[in-house]
Amino acid sequence: FATSVIGCGCEAGIERRLSPEETPDGRPGVALLFFAMSGKELAKQLERRVGQCILTCPTTAVYAGLADGEPVALGKNLRFFGDGWQIAKQIGGQRHWRVPVMDGEFVAQESTPVVKAVGGGNLLLLARDTDAALAAAEAAVAAMRRVPNVVMPFPGGVLRSGSKVGSKYPALS
């Protein structure tokens, strides 16, 4: 899960689908965006999410989507999942790791650039009733999906509760 930096360390989502012509290996893919509160936290969460959710998914590979920025590990540490059977490979002048998995191999670019960006945001909708509010929210999500470099990490792009600061319960503050 990666719906909010609150409680799960990062926000992430599919920014857009990629055609085979847009991917390094000539297969259909997706462009993902990840957001965290700091570069250090982003690096940690990126490695954790790629290891838990992409490496484990059959037929996947992972490549950097940015050309410039501060490099962080992508496949650099995930390669150790190969227990010594992993192999380095150069693709387009970049180092990648071929990690053996049960369906063949998982290919991961060694690092990916990260850049500063704005993550999170709220659009408050006031409506006559729930149906009207949901219709407005769904229309807003449809419009935002047409904008590049935008993700809506919650299911359907909509959430029912905004973030709040603090709590009367110390464990939640």
DSSP 121: -
Mean model confidence pLDDT for the chain: 92
Neighbouring C-beta atoms of residue 45, cutoff 10 Å: 21
pLDDT given at position 113:
96
Comparing C-alpha atoms, which of 39, 31, 34 is closest to residue 10? 34
Fold of 3-114: Alpha-Beta Plaits (3.30.70)
List Cα–Cα distances, 128 to 10, 54, 124, 133, 135, in angstroms.
33, 42, 14, 7, 11
Task: Delimit the CATH 3.30.70.520 region(s) of the chain.
Answer: 3-114
pLDDT tens for 22-76 read: 999 999 999 999 999 999 999 999 999 999 999 999 999 999 999 999 999 999 9
pTM of the model: 0.85
Helix (H, G, I), strand (E, B) or coil at 82: helix
